[in-house]
């Protein structure tokens, strides 16, 4: 039974999803390093939140690990590069806590604007000092949103409801997209100079680390408020404390920190005009259930050989697109396995043509699956995954090209794969019959109709009477049952290809006997 280790607390609904799929669940929390390394050694899946750090050292101990799921958005506690090198899928739940994080951002912003925490503390101290807690209105103010992803967009929607002016900085958003959102796009420094409220919604990368530091705090209005419910490393905390103490900002609110838990000696704790919460952005009942179930479902898919919806080291596949291309992902892997087992020589290049309706969709995941099927028989099961297949192909000097065409002959959609080796060229085409019935319909120009499942004995021969019968007799005499037969030929008496689906693997010595029959050119056993 496949095992999934849960290293941080997640909602029970996520655990139930894993168990319902027949997976063994090892639920733990706050494991010491040595124990984590010991327990992860047998796991094929791992679920964490923000507490557990998945380092290269941990991954070295995870000999069977195939997928890591982050029950949340950020993956900065996971060494994604090390995981990718090892072929491990890293996935997250980018939408599960979107609303929770957005609403907490607004909780902090409103609390800042109306001095709520200080007013509560004063009242509980027996004071009644209304004049000390005069706030500011949001109406007609300018909010600057740094990062216009899913959470940033939800923040923008609610800002418009407050009748605020919304400006945003995001290097990956076009002005056309911003216009549709009702947002004005600006560069970072001008945004900081203009905004009355500034909120961060960027991922933590080498480019965004310490995005806001002393020089940029100097650009902000002394009446401005700053909110960070994204990632702690986006802000230089010492510089923020200095700016607040010097009165260069009206206030700030932080839900995330460079070091978590926040050390008791942190200067942030004693800093005036600063609201602090202990990373509560995703802490709603609804969000915790949502991310746990979402990540669990994706882990089930990956361990079942399917692509993840939200893998951070693979192309993102929207659910509506995945429902269309998933059968082609399976078909492509079968085509890749067929190609490498029948081709002779070293693979130099792979050319993939996507034809018909399929050309209108995202093809990246399909090509990854093709490369996985192509490389796995060469490098061994478990070595190649959807994640590292392109990298492994590149390392071996295999040139991969993709193209699309609306023309697909007699089929709604078609995949044609040409593999060039140092000894020749091999072409295989596949399609779908109906919605999920995958078929091989062409091999090197020969029309066939093959269901790529199990084992197949593939041969080339001269088309003449008796050959098919002799091969069938040989297999029958050796206890090999033929489940299906498909023959394609160039013309009467010319070269032909034969594919026999068989219930059991054909022993090498029997394959050699088949190849020695009169009129036979070659014979090979293929495992799909």
Q: Is 231 a catalytic residue?
A: yes
Q: What is the pLDDT of residue 25?
A: 97
What is the 3 state secondary structure string of 132-179? HHCCCCCCCCEEEEECCCHHHHHHHHHHHHCCCEEEEECCCCCHHHHH
DSSP string, 447-475: EEEE---SEEEEEEEE--TTHHHHHHHHH
Report strand pairing: 184-185 vs 424-433.
unpaired
pLDDT value of position 381: 59
C-alpha 267/C-alpha 239 separation (Å) is: 11
pLDDT for res 486: 86
The catalytic position among 66, 70, 279, 337 is 279
CA atoms within 13 A on the CB side of 95: 8
CATH of domain 3-94+286-303: 3.40.50.720
Is the entire prediction scored with pTM above 0.75? no
> 98-276: what fold?
Rossmann fold (3.40.50)
The CATH architecture assigned to 319-527 reads 2-Layer Sandwich (3.30)
At 382 the pLDDT is 60
**Of the residues 49, 70, 194, 231, which is catalytic?**
231
* Rounded average pLDDT per 10-residue block, the chain, 528 residues: 95 96 92 93 94 94 95 87 89 88 98 97 95 96 94 96 96 83 95 98 86 97 97 96 96 96 95 95 92 95 86 75 87 94 89 93 91 86 76 89 88 94 92 90 90 92 88 91 87 86 91 90 91
Q: Output the CA torsion 267→271→275→280 (10° steps).
A: 10
- Domain pair 3-94+286-303 / 319-527, same fold: no
What is the DSSP track for 307-329? Answer: --TTBTTS----HHHHHHHHHHH
Question: What is the pLDDT, as a whole number, of residue 22?
Answer: 96
CA distance 228 to 277: 11
Measuring CA to CA, how many Å separate 441 from each of 32, 411, 429, 487, 488?
54, 10, 6, 11, 10
Token duo for residue 60: 């070295």
Task: Determine the Cα–Cα distance for residues 414 and 407; give it in Å rounded to an integer.
Answer: 9
Is residue 279 among the annotated active site residues?
yes
Q: Which residues pair with 126 in a beta bridge?
A: none
Q: Where are the domains of the chain?
A: 3-94+286-303, 98-276, 319-527
Indicate which residue of 35, 57, 260, 527 is catalytic: 260
């Amino acid at each position: 039974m496949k095992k999934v280790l849960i290293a941080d607390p997640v909602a029970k609904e996520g655990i139930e999803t894993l168990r319902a799929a027949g997976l063994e669940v090892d639920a733990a929390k706050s494991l010491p390093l040595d124990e984590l390394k010991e327990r992860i050694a047998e796991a094929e899946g791992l679920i964490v939140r923000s507490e557990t750090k998945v380092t290269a050292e941990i991954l070295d101990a995870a000999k069977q690990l195939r997928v890591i799921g982050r029950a949340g958005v950020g993956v900065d506690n996971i060494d994604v590069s090390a995981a990718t090198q090892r072929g491990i899928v890293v996935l997250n739940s980018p939408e599960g806590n979107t609303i929770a994080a957005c609403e907490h951002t607004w909780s902090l912003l409103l609390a800042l604007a109306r001095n709520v925490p200080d007013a509560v503390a004063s009242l509980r101290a027996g004071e009644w000092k209304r004049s000390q807690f005069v706030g500011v209105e949001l109406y007609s103010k300018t909010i600057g949103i740094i990062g216009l992803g899913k959470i940033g967009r939800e923040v923008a929607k609610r800002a418009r409801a407050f009748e605020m002016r919304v400006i945003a900085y995001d290097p990956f958003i076009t002005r056309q997209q911003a216009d549709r959102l009702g947002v004005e796009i600006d560069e970072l420094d001008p945004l900081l100079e203009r905004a009355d409220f500034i909120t961060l919604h960027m991922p933590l990368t080498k480019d965004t680390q310490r995005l806001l530091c002393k020089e940029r705090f100097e650009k902000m209005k002394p009446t401005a408020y700053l909110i960070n419910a994204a990632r702690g490393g986006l802000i230089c905390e010492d510089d923020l404390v200095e700016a607040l103490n010097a009165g260069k900002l009206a206030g700030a609110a932080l839900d995330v920190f460079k070091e978590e838990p926040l050390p008791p000696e942190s200067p942030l704790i004693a800093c005036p005009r600063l609201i602090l919460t202990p990373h509560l952005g995703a802490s709603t009942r609804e969000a915790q259930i949502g991310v746990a179930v979402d990540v669990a479902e994706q882990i089930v898919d990956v361990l079942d050989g399917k692509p993840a919806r939200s893998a951070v080291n693979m192309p993102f596949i929207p659910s509506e697109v995945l429902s269309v291309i998933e059968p082609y992902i399976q078909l492509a892997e079968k085509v890749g396995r067929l190609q490498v087992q029948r081709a002779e020589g070293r693979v130099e290049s792979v050319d993939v043509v996507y034809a018909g309706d399929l050309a209108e969709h995202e093809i990246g995941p399909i090509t990854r699956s093709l490369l996985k099927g192509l490389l796995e028989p060469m490098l061994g099961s478990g070595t190649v995954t959807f994640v590292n297949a392109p990298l492994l192909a590149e390392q071996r000097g295999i040139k991969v090209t993709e193209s699309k065409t609306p023309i697909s002959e007699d089929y709604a959609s078609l995949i044609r794969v040409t593999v060039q080796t140092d000894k020749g060229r091999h072409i295989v085409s596949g399609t779908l019959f109906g919605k999920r019935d995958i078929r091989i319909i062409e091999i090197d120009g020969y029309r066939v109709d093959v269901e790529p499942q199990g084992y197949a004995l593939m041969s080339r021969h001269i088309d003449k009477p008796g050959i098919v019968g002799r091969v069938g007799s040989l297999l029958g005499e050796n206890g090999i049952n033929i489940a299906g037969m498909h023959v394609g030929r160039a013309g009467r008496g010319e070269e032909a290809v034969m594919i026999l689906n068989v219930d059991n693997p054909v022993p090498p010595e029997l394959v050699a006997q088949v190849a020695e029959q009169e009129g036979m050119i070659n014979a090979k056993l293929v495992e799909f």
